[in-house]
Amino acid sequence: MRGTWDAQTIDELRPTYADHVVIKRRDSVFQDTEINVWLKALDINTLVFAGADTSICVETSLRDGFNQGYDVILISDATASGNKEGYNTTLQRIRDYYGVVMDFERFANSFRRAKQNNEQVPKEEVDAFIQTFNLLDPRESIA
């Protein structure tokens, strides 16, 4: 709840003036927010998910993103859940039906290879990045 201790942002994650902040009111970040309009305006087509609780908010947002037409990636070691069975079920469901599950090391290494010493990977190259490193092949997913 906004204004309570558990709604405080830690300094390491505090948004800057350039960050777009979305106030999430439901399990899905897409429910009753402007995020879809914002992402479409920026021509973003791939979403990378991290957060807690994996089997509720993260999964609901990921599924809604998928149903809005985005390619979705879940970073397995950047998510958490108090229910291990629910967590593992979510990871498998995402692998089977919605997108890619990988650990952060694999994601970062793939991204580093794609950068090829450039400062940034332009957003128009993200699709090529995903195809080049075969990130949509479920056999390559790592829990």
Cα-flanking dihedrals φ and ψ of residue 5, to 5°?
Answer: -60, -35
The alpha carbon torsion through 75, 61, 14, 39 (nearest 10 deg) reads 100
- Sheet of strand 71-80, all strands in order from the earlier edge strand to the far edge: 46-52, 71-80, 100-102
- Asked if residue 43 lies in contact with residue 50, where contact means CB atoms within 8 angstroms, the answer is no
- CATH code, domain with 60: 3.40.50.850
Count of domains observed in the chain: 1
Please report which confidence band the pLDDT of residue 10 belongs to, taking 50, 70 and 90 as the band edges. confident
pLDDT digits (tens, 9 = 90+) for 53-82: 889 999 999 999 999 999 999 999 999 898
| H-state helical runs in 1-143 | 35-41, 59-67, 84-93, 104-115, 126-132
Whole-model pTM: value is 0.74
Give the residue numbers spanning the domain of 56: 5-140
